[in-house]
Structure 1
Amino acid sequence: MTHRDLRDPRTRRVPTDRLTVQLSEIRDDGEPVVFVHGNVSSAAFWDRTLRRLPDRYRPLAPDLRGFGGTEPLPIDATRGLRDHADDLAALLRALGIERAHLVGWSMGGGVVLQYLRDRPAAVRSATLVNPVSPYGFGGTHGVEGTLNSADGVGSGGATANPEFVTRLAQGDRGADSPLSPRSVMVSCYVKPPWRPEPGDEEAYVDSMLTTRTGDDHYPGDSTTSETWPGVAPGTRGVLNSLSPLHFHLDDLHLIAPKPPVLWIRGEDDVIVSDTSLFDLAHLGAIGAVPGWDGTPAQPMVAQTRDVLNRYAAEGGWVREVAVPDAGHAVHLERPEEFTAALLEVLEVGSA
């Protein structure tokens, strides 16, 4: 007989006043720590992390709308990441949780930033794991997130690779193309040659394939532009919710109270980077997108640092941890270092 590990996450569906959320959890008591996953993934990417928390904490990992087992309501991109942040608030209300530690990876880091911006008193601590810039993804330059063009050109739904979207929608589990979900995960989510254990890898591919595709989800709709690279954001779906037209947090330093913030990242991240391989401006500069007009790459890491430096200058507790030889999923690649840094900020936030 196979016995279930009592620390394996269990899942349940939680009705809220906004939507029904699928939730992974381990125990029913302790200080709540909420883990928010990134784009093209689900709560499954947190399973191993949930098991590592001491018993004094209650780890919770919801699936965001359009991912995993949560009700796939459409995403109103004109609200930036507020659909996801408001869904998270509705979940915590349904669970009777007034204050929680928040941990967000990649796009989930942006969700945590939005939640922190809108509800600072409800946050014990905020941990940002290779987070999207506070000025969105694509379409800006400079540390203050200045738009490259008023229409947000270079960001939004059309910046996704069409073949990757097609393979995602078809449920491709193979590795015959560099644009299959599996290939993208092992080459971009983590830094090669590191690779998840076989069972974990299959679970992560399964997780990626729960992503709903289309105009209301991933990647979203788009418009054209006369400015290079010729594509601008629409109003629906995931990548448009990350456009700087819709997600732009330039006043985080003004919130009160100011919960402690941990920013932890892999130094060799190719997704969220000052030279991101997913930023059309950087791809143009290296000749991968034709017609480059000199538009500079978005300095994603420098933008996050500038926002958090201002937060610290106004009295906030901030710690930056850059992990060498690690990529976009530092919590998977370097679990010991990640957990040690996380437990530190949880302790500060619990004081």
Structure 2
Amino acid sequence: MVLLDGIASRRIDTSRLAVNVLERAGDPPGGTPVVFIHGNLSSSLFWQEAMLALPAGYRVLAPDLRGFGDTDPLPVDATRGLRDFSDDLAATLEALGLDAAHLVGWSMGGGVAMQYALDHPVLSLTLQAPVSPYGFGGTGGPEGRRLSEDDAGCGAGGVNPDFVARLAAGDRSEEAATSPLAVYRAAYVHAGFRSVHEEIWLESMLSSRTGPDHYPGDSAATDAWPGFAAGGRGIANAMAPGYFNTSGLVELARKPDILWIRGDSDAIVSDASAFDINYLGQLGAVPGWPGEQTAPAQPMLAQTRAVLDKYRANGGRSREVVLANCGHSPHLEYPEQFLAALTEHIGGV
């Protein structure tokens, strides 16, 4: 594990599992807690620059989710949605003696943060390029209607097996489009972006556990196009709409302020996502697409916006910040703009 100067790591025993947590050196134990939650195929290492950049006075933390980094690789029960992760986070904050925190969730981590907020009090939510409140794939329209009872086209069956094999083998090359480094450059950040810490981000990706209990999970057969549906194990299935839905945020009695920050060139979370099987079918990249009526592309951004519109209509406060020429990782690509939006949102120490 490569840590930047000013970041420390320790494993914490909780009531559920041992969790690896990054902390910023010198933060006051009683400082207002800010907890960064990483996404799929990453770890807490991705947050180090953002952690160091926050003003003094906060207590800044970033845990590794189960199956990533140095946290225990317990299996992921996909039928619980992202609750395995959010329950682990609750146990971690309890072990640290923290009642509530500002949560900053990226991609899948945004889904973890939303699920946590449904179950526990939070000071605020920052959702960076978050998974739709209706999950990943298998829904249509801004209202997030579920397209099939078995979530056809969702989950582990849509993951490229060569990418998984390269991930498991610790491939550090860029010899193929399915090499983890090539995927990072093509999907995590905008075209041409380079970081001096790219090797750390690659190490973070390669810490992901693979297999049916982790990434991508298992897969189920279906008679519907494209021939696979969400299984019951592993990470890719945990975001299938039959298991994951956080649109209930709009009904919370106490609504934390929400910042939604994203890039306008995100290849992963988009209304035209390169990782949505239905959108790929529409493009002809997956043969046999049955058409718009049966398998429309998921309007991920429209779904998040519709939920946040209703959130405001029900008395909550939210704000959307869109960064130009930015991919899936605003905190890496435009750290100054990300920091400015975050610090304004969490409102001082």
TM-score bracket, shorter-length normalisation: over 0.9
1:232 paired with 2:229, answer: yes
**Displacement, 1:287?**
1.1
* Per-residue deviation, residues 101-131 of structure 1 (Å, max 9, x unmatched): 0000000000000011111xx2000000000
- Give the structure 2 partner of residue 75 of structure 1: 76
Distance 1:177 1:239 in 2: 22
Q: What secondary structure sits across from 1:282 in the alignment?
A: helix
Q: Contact conserved, 1:8 with 1:47, CA < 8 A, in 2?
A: no
* Per-residue deviation, residues 59-111 of structure 1 (Å, max 9, x unmatched): 10000000000000001111000000000000000000001000000000000
- Choose which of 212, 215, 220 in structure 2 pairs with 1:215: 212
* Per-residue deviation, residues 231-272 of structure 1 (Å, max 9, x unmatched): 101111000111111001232111021110000000100100
How do 1:31-46 residues align onto structure 2 when only pairs under 5 Å count?
31-46=32-47
* Per-residue deviation, residues 157-176 of structure 1 (Å, max 9, x unmatched): 11111111111011100000
Q: What secondary structure sits across from 2:123 in the alignment?
A: strand
* Per-residue deviation, residues 129-175 of structure 1 (Å, max 9, x unmatched): 00000011011111111112111111111111111111101110000
Question: Aligned partner of 2:145: which letter?
Answer: T
Distance 2:52 2:253 in 1: 32
- Give the structure 2 partner of residue 14 of structure 1: 12
TM-score (norm 2): 0.96
Distance 1:154 1:302 in 2: 20
Distance 1:314 1:123 in 2: 18
How do 1:1-351 residues align onto structure 2 when only pairs under 5 Å count?
8-26=6-24, 27-29=27-29, 30-119=31-120, 122-197=121-196, 200-294=197-291, 295-347=295-347
**Displacement, 1:28?**
4.3
CA RMSD of aligned residues (A): 1.2
Question: Aligned partner of 1:312: which letter?
Answer: R
Distance 2:247 2:257 in 1: 18
Q: What secondary structure sits across from 2:310 in the alignment?
A: helix
Distance 1:11 1:18 in 2: 19
Distance 1:239 1:194 in 2: 27
Distance 1:151 1:28 in 2: 49
**Displacement, 1:334?**
0.4
Deviates more, 1:153-162 or 1:45-54: 153-162
Q: Contact conserved, 1:21 with 1:70, CA < 8 A, in 2?
A: yes
**Displacement, 1:178?**
0.7
Q: What secondary structure sits across from 1:123 in the alignment?
A: coil
Structure 1 ranges of 4+ moved more than 6 A: none
Distance 2:46 2:328 in 1: 12
Q: Contact conserved, 2:111 with 2:246, CA < 8 A, in 1?
A: no
Q: What secondary structure sits across from 2:111 in the alignment?
A: helix
Q: What secondary structure sits across from 1:12 in the alignment?
A: strand
Q: What secondary structure sits across from 1:45 in the alignment?
A: helix
Distance 1:251 1:316 in 2: 13
Q: Any gaps of 5 or more consecutive residues in structure 1?
A: none
Q: What secondary structure sits across from 2:124 in the alignment?
A: strand
Distance 2:15 2:103 in 1: 21
Q: What secondary structure sits across from 2:112 in the alignment?
A: helix
Question: Aligned partner of 1:320: which letter?
Answer: E
Question: Aligned partner of 2:58: which letter?
Answer: Y
Distance 2:81 2:123 in 1: 23
Distance 1:8 1:38 in 2: 23
Q: What secondary structure sits across from 2:302 in the alignment?
A: helix
Q: What secondary structure sits across from 1:253 in the alignment?
A: helix
Q: What secondary structure sits across from 1:322 in the alignment?
A: strand
Q: What secondary structure sits across from 2:36 in the alignment?
A: strand
**Displacement, 1:58?**
1.0
Q: Contact conserved, 2:28 with 2:58, CA < 8 A, in 1?
A: no
